[in-house]
Amino acid sequence: MAKQHSIVIAGGGSTYTPEIVLMLLDNLDKFPIRQLKLYDNDPERQNTIAKACEIIIKEQAPHIQFVATANPEEGFTDVDFVMAHIRVGKYEMREKDEKIPLKYNVIGQETCGPGGIAYGLRSIKGVVELIDYMEMYSPNAWMLNYSNPASIVAEACRKLRPESRVLNICDHPIGLEDRMAKMVGLDSRKDLTIRYYGLNHFGWYTDVQDKDGNDLMPQIKSYMAENGFNLNAIGKETRNSDPSWLHTYDMAKFVYELDPDTIPNTYLKYYLFPNKEVEIADENYTRANEVIDGREKRVFGECRKIIEKGTAQGTALEIGAHATYIVDLACALSYNTHERMLIMVENNGAISNVDATSMVEVPCLVGSKGAEPLSIGPVPTFQKGLIEQQVAVEKLAVEAYTEGSKQKLYQAFALSKTIPGADIAKNLLDELIEANKDYWPTLH
């Protein structure tokens, strides 16, 4: 009999929580669960999600003990895995991350540029707090952290909690791999074997094969050159793809032109075409507003319906397909499967011509001791230059946090490819310091 696991989802009030719960219930055959907890420091927000999840669990797997709490000891005692996806400052602060930079004609984005740095500085304390709770109450547990912005959070974990059992992951490449599988007529990204290197939201695929070792890159490249990651050309684009993501998929073809030997991550558009992104941005209605009016209303509305009816029968809540990655990772750690997965790890020579202490995102073999990176070797000058610049931005941001240094944060802003001048960086930083005064450490 496989071990029955106990899990806490930290960030229980997130709109992603129900789909993670549904996904865990869908995978009980390979990853059995005896206890599932939700933990959030905002019990009011968590309450609606938790009540709906409790009904779902009762109907689908009544043997699972369910707990929702705002008490760290109750949340983190007797758990094998902490699945963390927290948003410090919630959507109110995300809106500021996106709108303040746009006043300066700088892209406002959740994980990239000044908005991403602002969010990163808010996230560090929250994620480190969760690690400390885990180590206090369940020292043998693993944390699977997918709190954004993942690169800055991963660098902070490396620096502040180097011995902790934390794996930093991101589901974005999973979505891109699903798209590549569709481009070549395969059912699932699981039918692909990929090579990829870079940082989180900042990387390149260098090799994509099917399980028989056939090279799929020529077919994918020819599709990308015409369509980017947009699947409309083959009638496979999902109905609910919102306009901002369709634009992102379209932009990938222009990023691809910079290096037709590789397939780029879509977030590179913010670094390579920041002017174009500013041009199309609406400073009064950004992605945060889209999410508040879309996903937030939809998920909380569905949860309220479940609570009112007392049943989840016929619910429109869906299993998080991307979230299956988390189960694969938990299985690899629990059952020592050595599955090959993209994880953020300390470079230590994986990319041989990039700083050894960079937190890179590369394929790793995952077993009971954690993630073992595969060797990438040296990367071309174009990618090396971009990676090193971005690593420096992230390291300066984390040093600014740990040292309370305004100077280093100014340097991080001035170095970011998304900000066109140090004078703009300085004024923008002053405004973001004021906006984040309740969340950032005091900077001197």
Structure tokens at 71: 């008490």
Consecutive H or E run containing 144:
strand 142-145
> Can 212 be counted among the known catalytic residues?
no
Structure tokens at 344: 């953020």
Question: Is residue 199 a contact partner of residue 360, using CB atoms and an 8 Å limit?
Answer: yes
* 3-state SS class at 346: strand
Q: Which of 443, 386, 255 is nearest to 394 (CA)?
A: 386
Buried b (16+ CB within 10 A) or exposed e, 295-312: eeeebbebbebbbeeeeb
The CA distance from 324 to 188, in Å, is 12
Indicate which residue of 40, 80, 97, 171 is catalytic.
171
Question: Is residue 40 a contact partner of residue 11, using CB atoms and an 8 Å limit?
Answer: yes
Indicate which residue of 223, 267, 271, 325 is catalytic.
267
> Can 178 be counted among the known catalytic residues?
no
Query: Scanning the structure block, which residue is given the tokens 């003990």?
Result: 65
Residues 6+ apart with CB under 8 A from 62: none
The CA distance from 397 to 259, in Å, is 29
Question: Is residue 286 a contact partner of residue 98, using CB atoms and an 8 Å limit?
Answer: yes
For 149-257, list the strands marked E by DSSP.
Answer: 166-168, 192-199, 202-210
Write the CA distances from 37 to 71, 73, 142, 230, 245, integer angstroms.
11, 12, 15, 37, 32
CB atoms within 10 A of CB 204: 23
Residues noted as catalytic: 171, 267
